[in-house]
Amino acid sequence: MAAPAETTEEKQGPIGAFLSTYLAPVDSLAEVIFGLIMVLGWTSTARLVFGTTSVRQLLLAVIGCNLAWAIVDGVMYILSSVYERSQRIKLLGSLRRAPDGESAVALIAERLDEDLEPVLTDDQRAQVYHWLVAGAARVESEQAHVTREDMLGAVVSGVLVFVSVLPVGLPFLFISDPTVALRVSNLVCVGMLFIIGFYWARYIAMNRVLAGTLLLVVGLLMVAVTVALGG
């Protein structure tokens, strides 16, 4: 007897399944990429801003930048969720106020034609739009307020960014020379950019090595610029 196919949750594991409740895998990887680039930019320019900088100051800079970005990321998650919900509510309201069914279908077509036209015929799209209009009439009215799920999603997003970028600060714990620690931290960050880009590519239909290399090059260019400026 053939073994049962693994479910998505089994493939992801408990942590991956929990994260996917609030963030799609591509979004999770994108959040980490943004966090790494933010920290790389900050640590690379820290010496430009503060001049002679100690290892402890650089470590605090990494943690502070990481924490700040995690908070900003969580707030943006909430704002994005509320915005998307408000747009859905507005659309539902417009469909209910439409004078007739064809007008409601036209509103749906305006939103979805660009995405569905390449894969569905005119008749198929029309049928889908009529189904959506009929379904919208059964949806209860709601308000675009912050929900418990929004708050949990914001916490998950922020914690993911904060924890995943912490390895960039490890060199400052084990290397006493600030310059050496900074460069090793830069290399760790650039290496992580390649790894995350490699995995991110599977979700954006891009060659994995190419995606990882592009992010690696971005990181190296950021470091090269700051070194050239004296950072």
165 φ, ψ (degrees, to nearest 5) = -95, -10
Residue 200 has pLDDT above 50, yes or no: yes
pLDDT of 9: 42
pLDDT digits (tens, 9 = 90+) for 74-128: 888 899 888 888 888 888 888 888 888 788 888 888 888 888 888 888 888 888 8
The answer to whether residue 7 scores a pLDDT higher than 70 is: no
Question: Is the Cα torsion angle 214, 219, 220, 221 positive or negative in sign?
Answer: positive
> pLDDT at position 18, please?
57
Q: Tell me the backbone φ, ψ of residue 71, rounded to 5 degrees.
A: -65, -45
pLDDT at 148 over 80: yes
Residue 156 banded pLDDT, cuts 50, 70, 90 = confident
Identify whether the C-beta of residue 226 lies closer than 8 Å to the C-beta of residue 76: no
- The predicted pLDDT at position 35 comes to 80
